Amino acid sequence: DSGVTQTPKHLITATGQRVTLRCSPRSGDLSVYWYQQSLDQGLQFLIQYYNGEERAKGNILERFSAQQFPDLHSELNLSSLELGDSALYFCASSVAGTSGETQYFGPGTRLLVL
């Protein structure tokens, strides 16, 4: 158990819908990262938050957004869902983003868009 929690574990929804994925980082970790794992794209970095502020952006679609709240939990919002958004979405956390720091991953949310 990494200490990172993600809910829900599974999500099935329809095209055009909007969903919210939730992540609670390890106790004391200030940085939260979101990754998407799909069969065709592999594991891709989406976005990072550090202590409530956006720190880095990767290949995140405009239909996707995220935020980190004062209690440090984070939410990833996916809207106007398409079939291709079906993937495993991971949240990871690290203490403060210093060099050499390990990112610990949550169990993931498996999203299926029908």
Partner 1 sequence: AQKITQTQPGMFVQEKEAVTLDCTYDTSDPSYGLFWYKQPSSGEMIFLIYQGSYDQQNATEGRYSLNFQKARKSANLVISASQLGDSAMYFCAMREGLLGQGGSEKLVFGKGMKLTVNP
Q: Given the complex with partner 1, which of 40 and 62 has the nearer CB atom?
A: 40
* Contacts to partner 1 by CB under 8 A: 2, 31, 33, 35, 42-45, 48, 55-56, 58, 88, 90, 92, 94, 97-108, 110
Q: Which bin fits 19, alpha (ψ -120 to 50), beta or left (φ > 0)? A: beta
Which of 89, 82, 91, 106 lies closest to 11, judged by CA? 89
Q: Least distance from C-beta 34 to partner 1, angstroms? A: 10
Q: Least distance from C-beta 16 to partner 1, angstroms? A: 26
Q: Which two tokens stand for residue 85?
A: 């958004």
Q: Given the complex with partner 1, which of 64 and 90 has the nearer CB atom?
A: 90
Which of 77, 79, 71, 80 lies closest to 109, judged by CA? 77
Q: Given the complex with partner 1, which of 45 and 75 has the nearer CB atom?
A: 45
Q: Least distance from C-beta 63 to partner 1, angstroms? A: 20
Q: Given the complex with partner 1, which of 6 and 78 has the nearer CB atom?
A: 6
For residue 94, what are the CA distances in angstroms to 9, 23, 57? 21, 13, 16
Computed on alpha carbons and rounded to an integer, the radius of gyration of the chain in Å comes to 13
